[in-house]
Amino acid sequence: MDVFSVTVLGSSAALPTANRNLSGQLVKIANQYLLIDCGEGTQIQLRRNKISIQRIDHIFISHLHGDHFYGLIGLLSSMHLLGRQKPVHIFAHEGLKKAIEVQLEVSQARLSFELNYHFLKNESGVVLVENKHFRVESIKLKHSIPCCGFLIREVEKPRNILKSAIEKYSIPIKDRPGIKMGEDFLTQGGKLIKNEEITSDPLTIRSYAYCSDTAYLESILEMISGVDLLYHEATFLEDKKERAKETFHSTAAQAAEIAKKAAVGQLLLGHFSARYKEMDLFLSEAKVIFDNVALAEDGIEYMIG
């Protein structure tokens, strides 16, 4: 089974701390690298974790608060200095293009590769990337400015034809694609062989949802229902619930409530306010509501599924 994982590059909100960088994650799927958010210092985190920046072809920026994109121009500059030629696809709200172009203009810089911008519509269910391996869709979140999360899900795989069945029934190559899609097989002698007798189930589809930054929002439940891993911001604890509401953020308890109602496999909390020093308090608060919880830690790779 191919690796499907997320490496946390930053888990702090607004301000970095001595051991927590600003928002950034590297998703590995189908031997491709996807970067989600790019706070200041992200490229250093990539190097620290021995992740090749030149393997990143798709960058997703959830929203245009600085702690989620101030590291992008530095990353793009490093790609250029290292001789990159391949285009980079950037999925973000429209203002990001202007922000990048202004920085390139005032520094009289010109990149050696093309930037292809794909503007987010601030809607849920918009397919951003789709290939034979996986699909990336947007999730509309509730924040002080337009903000999107991202749902990354493997594409359903065909059934596996049993080698013994191929030999036993002399299944021609021309019939195999249909059988993989669930069709029964009719032998040359006219006998109908049921699909379940000659195939095995495909590998289970795995999925990951990234939700940061957002107030408590039940409208996302349908999209994230049953995902293997949910990353949900938990900027505050319940002691700052009113502050969370004012700033359109969530508490650990609210993130756990979303995870419970969506029946996800595991909840990963992150985007912690720098005011908190005892991080286990986030874990304790969430576990009262949803048991399978982990705290996002910089540099840790979390396997999905």
Angle in degrees, 0-180, between the axes of helices 280-287 and 252-262, rounded to the nearest 10:
40
Whole-angstrom Cα distance, residue 283 to residue 295? 7
Contact 59, 72 (CB under 8 A): yes
Whole-angstrom Cα distance, residue 197 to residue 243? 59
Torsion of CA 46, 37, 229, 223, to 10 degrees: -160
Does 67 qualify as catalytic in the annotation? yes
Contact 31, 154 (CB under 8 A): no
Rounded to the nearest angstrom, the gap between the alpha carbon of residue 188 and the centroid of all alpha carbons in its chain is 48
Residue 3's alpha-carbon distances to 40, 154, 184, 226, 229, in angstroms, are 27, 11, 32, 20, 14
Whole-angstrom Cα distance, residue 87 to residue 69? 19
Catalytic residue, candidates 2, 37, 67, 175: 67
Residues 6+ apart with CB under 8 A from 277: none
Q: Which residues does the annotation mark as catalytic?
A: 67
